[in-house]
Amino acid sequence: MLKMAAFFISLLLSACNTTPVQLKDAKTISIDRVFAYQAKGEGKAILTVVRDKGFAGSACYSSFYINGVLAARVDVAEAAIFYV
């Protein structure tokens, strides 16, 4: 019985896979969910974040932090650019 339960749990978890999203296919994140690191400047690096798509975690935003600062809340298949 335990082996059967373990099999069904692993089957359910494998069904929650995600799919990578290419930057060209990602939606631009809404400006009201980008909070920091948006000022361009000389000597700053460009950091691009793209969230994958899939069922797992799709009901909520992912919080993205840079150096302990909340930079954005990203939805599935969205991209954001930061200047650090």
pLDDT at 82: 97
48 strand-pairing partners: 81
Tell me the per-residue pLDDT of 16-66, one tens digit each, with 9 for 90 and over: 677 888 999 999 999 999 999 999 999 999 999 999 887 666 778 999 999
78 CA to centre of own chain: 7
Of 4-13, 14-23, 74-83, where does the model show the most confidence? 74-83
Kindly list the domain boundaries of the chain, sorted by start residue.
Answer: 18-83
pLDDT at 20: 87
pLDDT at 13: 61
* Predicted TM-score (pTM) of this structure: 0.75
pLDDT at 69: 97
Provide the edge-to-edge strand list for the sheet that holds 78-83. Answer: 27-28, 78-83, 46-50
